Amino acid sequence: MEKNIDIYNKIENCNIKSKIFFEDSNKKKDKIFIFCHGFCSGKGSNSVKIVSNMLLEYGIPSISFDFPGHIDSVQGTDKLNVDVCISYINSVIEYVKENFGSDIKISFYAISFGAYILLNKLIGDISYYDNIVLRSPAFNMKDILVKSLLKESFEQYKKNGKSRAGHGGKIEVPYSFYEDLANHNLYNDYKEKRKILILQGEQDDTAPIEDTYRFIQNKPEIELIKIKNVKHHMEPQEISQSTEMMLKRLNIKS
């Protein structure tokens, strides 16, 4: 089952449009996954639905939400920056603990831009998380925005102070979004030692796998599973395939 819910964000004084995937059961859950969607995606994407349904086969509920400026978000892209996005994740974590118990084991499944935001959130975070899974992570989000997502030249973007971006130019991002990305450089800032599992297509045409090699260099705690003949946008069967790899690697059992 799935249900749309609102999660209150105390920092931004707004509701976060969210979706919870769960079994119709009174059995207490001991683990849950939180999704962080990619750029121009959202809480009900194909990826989220496929992975959440596969998790439910093992009795694991999950929850997803829309970042600012995406799908049903009440906040626009003027709020699309790292700190506000992190506050969204923190609000979802608070909701999970309040509604599922403070002892529930929280895992993350973060895609592309969502992975970039999650890693920024983890900097200096001493909380325990059960599993951290990144799919097609956008480590170099600043360059990805300029090279792959903007629908205008960078010069026009800077001059106009805004540009359409993403698949089909779905959203309009202010130039301040680029400036914020430039101020949050994961290669310089991320020094955590958490265990992380990365799933990525070898032919990723948006977030080059070379960026991933650079990020995981000298980080033996991070495992990369490369998927042959797969690009950044995964087809449903590729999502299922990568999820099966994840479940096996994390030794998730019902």
CA dist 235 and 203 (Å) reads 13
Token code pair at residue 90: 């923190």
Tally of structural domains, the chain: 1
Can you give the pTM of this predicted structure?
Answer: 0.97
Q: Is residue 242 part of a domain?
A: yes
Token code pair at residue 31: 């683990």
Q: Is residue 171 part of a domain?
A: no
Q: Is residue 162 part of a domain?
A: no
Q: Is residue 192 part of a domain?
A: yes
Give, in degrees to the nearest 5, the angle at Cα 71 between 70 and 72.
105
CATH value at residue 99: 3.40.50.1820
pLDDT digits (tens, 9 = 90+) for 46-94: 999 999 999 999 999 999 999 999 999 999 999 999 999 999 999 999 9
pLDDT given for residue 3 in this prediction: 96
Q: Is residue 150 part of a domain?
A: no
pLDDT given for residue 202 in this prediction: 97
Q: Is residue 165 part of a domain?
A: no
Name the residue range of residue 13's domain.
2-141+186-249
CA dist 146 and 135 (Å) reads 21
Compute how many other C-beta atoms are within 10 angstroms of the C-beta atom of residue 203: 14
Residue carrying structure tokens 């260099």: 217
Q: Is residue 209 part of a domain?
A: yes
pLDDT given for residue 24 in this prediction: 80
Q: Is residue 224 part of a domain?
A: yes
What is the β-pairing status of strands 171-174 and 196-201? unpaired
Do residues 6 and 31 lie in contact, with contact meaning Cβ atoms separated by under 8 Å? Answer: no
Residue carrying structure tokens 């690697």: 249
What are the phi and psi torsion angles at 107 (to 5°)? -120, 160
Do residues 245 and 225 lie in contact, with contact meaning Cβ atoms separated by under 8 Å? Answer: yes
Regions of the chain short of the pLDDT cut 70: 26, 254
